[in-house]
């Protein structure tokens, strides 16, 4: 055998050996062992924010210890493919646990264990001795510190934010329609009606924006909804301030039809209506759990 043939034969043998080794499925014992290790990791690092014992788990994800359910959820796990598994990628990049968690990120060894769990198909069955000798966090009664009365009162008031948004939103959007009729009909009655709507909408937007900052909406730090939540808060506040600007513009002058003051007010009102629409869209995304809530 020539040296070239020998090297070719050796190269092919190594490739076949690697492929054969990669195609070997995980044994039943390995699946049980890895699943038990992942359960312990999630219990120690994730259950404080995503356990089923929580009344309001972060991100509406409260079943992190139900590995069978987690592994079958394509939103979190794609069995056999860690690169396309969002849950593993968040763990790998230290997005979970979040910065506000009381536990440190996963160690490199723990990340390898979670990655191996995904590679072998994300099984959910635990060893019998593990299940018998271990009390899951989900069955234990949480010992939660009671927040001060004033803090609980503010959080309770924040729950009324979604209800109060309908009033200023409706008034400001109807004001745009009334302004259109005022422009078409050139009647003072419609001009006065527009001023009434804008002033009342601006005044009602103040408590609405304030309650928005008191609302305690649970989101995962670093997730898409966390960014949507912050944008919604700041844009909602900016919209309330802009409504006040519109009210000042229409009250500070007569704003007769055709005047420069009326044109300024009309431009400000149209911009305010656009802001109201965007903020409403973001609020709907928070309520529905994603930006695709209008998907047909």
Note the pLDDT tens digit of each residue in 261-292: 888 999 999 999 999 999 999 998 888 767 87
Q: Are 96 and 90 in contact (CB under 8 A)?
A: yes
Say if residue 123 is in the same domain as residue 181: no
Say if residue 91 is in the same domain as residue 72: yes
Q: From the DSSP assignment, how many helices (H) and strands (E) are in the chain? A: 13, 0
Kindly tell me if the per-residue pLDDT of 240 is higher than 90.
yes
Q: Which residue has the tokens 């745009």?
A: 176
Residue 94 belongs to a domain: yes
Say if residue 188 is in the same domain as residue 100: no
Note the pLDDT tens digit of each residue in 161-188: 999 999 999 999 999 999 999 999 888 8
Kindly tell me if the per-residue pLDDT of 258 is higher than 70.
yes
The enclosing domain of 182 has a CATH number of 1.20.120
Say if residue 84 is in the same domain as residue 160: no
Residue 28 belongs to a domain: yes
Residue 215 belongs to a domain: yes
Among 105, 139, 173, the domain-final residue is 139
Query: In the prediction, which pLDDT does 46 show?
Result: 86
Say if residue 91 is in the same domain as residue 178: no
The encoded tokens of residue 102 equal: 């009381």
Residue of 145 and 50 predicted with greater confidence: 50
Instruction: Give the residue from 251, 39, 207 showing the smallest Cα distance to 130.
Output: 39
Say if residue 133 is in the same domain as residue 217: no
Query: In the prediction, which pLDDT does 94 show?
Result: 83
Query: In the prediction, which pLDDT does 172 show?
Result: 94
Q: Are 63 and 69 in contact (CB under 8 A)?
A: yes
Calculated CA dihedral for residues 202, 160, 99, 88, nearest 10 degrees = -110
Residue 19 belongs to a domain: no
Kindly tell me if the per-residue pLDDT of 196 is higher than 80.
yes
Residue 130 belongs to a domain: yes
Q: Label residue 53 exposed, middle or buried (CB < 10 Å: 0-12, 13-18, 19+).
A: middle
Say if residue 155 is in the same domain as residue 242: yes
Say if residue 167 is in the same domain as residue 282: yes
Confidence of residue 6 (pLDDT cuts 50, 70, 90): low
Query: In the prediction, which pLDDT does 220 show?
Result: 53
The CA distance from 14 to 11, in Å, is: 5
Among 139, 174, 197, the domain-final residue is 139
The share of the chain scoring above pLDDT 70, in percent, equals 81
Say if residue 42 is in the same domain as residue 125: yes
Say if residue 60 is in the same domain as residue 103: yes
Query: In the prediction, which pLDDT does 126 show?
Result: 82
Residue 18 belongs to a domain: no
The CA distance from 201 to 198, in Å, is: 5
In sequence order, what E strands does the chain have? Answer: none
Residue of 118 and 144 predicted with greater confidence: 118
Residue 12 belongs to a domain: no
Burial 40-49 (b: 16+ CB within 10 A, else e): ebbbebbbbb
Say if residue 156 is in the same domain as residue 254: yes
Overall number of domains in the chain: 2
CB atoms within 10 A of CB 204: 20
Say if residue 134 is in the same domain as residue 210: no
Among 89, 119, 139, the domain-final residue is 139
Residue 218 belongs to a domain: yes
- Supply the mean pLDDT for the chain: 81
Find the domain containing 174 and state its range: 149-288
Query: In the prediction, which pLDDT does 130 show?
Result: 59
Query: In the prediction, which pLDDT does 64 show?
Result: 85
């Amino acid at each position: 055998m020539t040296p070239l043939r020998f090297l070719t034969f050796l190269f092919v043998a190594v490739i076949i050996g690697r492929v054969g080794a990669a195609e070997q499925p995980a044994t039943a014992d390995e699946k049980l062992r890895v699943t038990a290790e992942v359960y312990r990791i999630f219990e120690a690092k994730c259950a404080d924010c995503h356990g089923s014992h929580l009344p309001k788990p972060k991100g509406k994800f409260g079943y992190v210890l139900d590995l069978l359910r987690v592994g079958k959820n394509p939103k979190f796990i794609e069995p056999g493919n860690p690169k396309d598994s969002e849950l593993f990628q968040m763990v790998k990049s230290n997005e979970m646990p979040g910065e506000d968690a009381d536990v440190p990120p996963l160690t490199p060894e723990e990340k390898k264990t979670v990655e191996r769990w995904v590679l072998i198909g994300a099984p959910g069955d635990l060893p019998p001795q593990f299940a018998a000798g271990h009390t899951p966090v989900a069955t234990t009664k949480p010992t939660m510190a009671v927040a001060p009365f004033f803090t609980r009162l503010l959080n309770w008031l924040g729950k009324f934010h979604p209800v109060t948004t309908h009033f200023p939103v409706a008034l400001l959007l109807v004001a745009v329609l009334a302004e259109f009729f005022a422009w078409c009909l050139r009647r003072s009655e419609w001009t006065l009606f527009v001023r009434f709507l804008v002033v009342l909408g601006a005044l009602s937007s103040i408590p609405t924006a304030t309650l928005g900052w008191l609302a305690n909406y649970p989101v995962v730090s670093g997730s898409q909804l966390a960014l949507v939540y912050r944008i919604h808060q700041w844009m909602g506040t900016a919209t309330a301030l802009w409504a006040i600007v519109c009210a000042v513009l229409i009250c500070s002058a007569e704003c007769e039809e055709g005047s420069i003051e009326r044109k300024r007010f009309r431009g400000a009102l149209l911009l305010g209506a656009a802001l109201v629409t965007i903020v409403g869209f973001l609020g709907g995304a928070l309520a529905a759990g994603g930006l695709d809530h209008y998907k047909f």
